[in-house]
Structure 1
Amino acid sequence: MFRTRSDKVSLVMGHVIVTRGIAELPAVFFTAIMEAVRRFDDFTEHNDPHGEHDFGALTVSGERIFWKIDYYKRGTEEGSPDPSNMVLTERVLTVMLAEEY
């Protein structure tokens, strides 16, 4: 589930993918990283120039982490023609170590 951009928190369904580097971390670090991604709200004009809130970079327990949300046409690997349309779009959150980028 993902947060929407409004001031009110509402959740939309999606998929979460973690890279091998994240998956191989000890459970306590994995949990801390996923919680930090969930709580991330440090969006600025510099790191989010289009106001889409679809990428973040943060440091957790000394590890630099990137996360990215992509919007796919449901049932395909193509980009969604209308990411705001929940019927047409599947959201995929990818969480990775920065060194895996």
Structure 2
Amino acid sequence: MATIEATQAPTIAQLNDRFRQGDHTLGQVRPTQCINGLSSEDQQELFRLLRTFDDFTPGNDPYGEHDFGAIEFKGEVFNWKIDYYAPDLVHGSEDPGDLTKTIRVLTLMHSSEY
């Protein structure tokens, strides 16, 4: 993937927040097998926690893109991450700030799967 310039970070963070909070026109959400194995109620709560996540710090968000986080739920840690793909979903996006060149893929997983 191309190096992302720091000046793009606020735009990318805004797009990632929109996507994570429910604007799925920007990409796809892919829960892992572990997440799919949880009860419907637990899945719903995890996704609610994902949508409302706002604990970004220099330690977990060093580039300011809001593309990774960890959620504590029922005494366990679940991670989520956003990757940037070209529209073919094969290659990395050359410009994650450009909606015509990027499809976001959010993966939600148990920390043991990371």
Same fold (TM over 0.5): yes
TM-score by length of 2: 0.78
Among all aligned residue pairs of Structure 1 and Structure 2, give the percentage whose two residues are the same amino acid.
43
What's the counterpart of residue 73 of structure 1? 86
- Structure 2 unaligned regions, length at least 5: 1-11
Contact 1:18 1:96 in 2 (8 A): yes
Tell me the CA shift for residue 45 of structure 1.
Answer: 0.8
What's the counterpart of residue 5 of structure 1? 13
Which aligned pairs between 1:79-98 and structure 2 lie closer than 5 A? 79-98=92-111
Which one-letter code corresponds to 1:65 in the other structure? F
Tell me the CA shift for residue 5 of structure 1.
Answer: 3.4
Tell me the CA shift for residue 57 of structure 1.
Answer: 0.7
What's the counterpart of residue 72 of structure 2? 59
Aligned-CA RMSD value: 1.6
What's the counterpart of residue 27 of structure 2? 14
SS of the residue aligned with 2:80?
Answer: strand
- Structure 1 unaligned regions, length at least 5: none
What's the counterpart of residue 36 of structure 1? 49
Of 54, 62, 74, 1:49 maps to 62
Greater relative CO, 1 or 2 (CA 8 Å, sep 6+): 2
Q: Distance in 2 between matches of 1:67 and 1:5?
A: 15
Q: How many residues align?
A: 96
Contact 1:29 1:61 in 2 (8 A): no
TM-score by length of 1: 0.87
- From the two aligned structures, give the one with the greater helix fraction: 2
Tell me the CA shift for residue 75 of structure 1.
Answer: 1.1
- From the two aligned structures, give the one with the greater strand fraction: 1
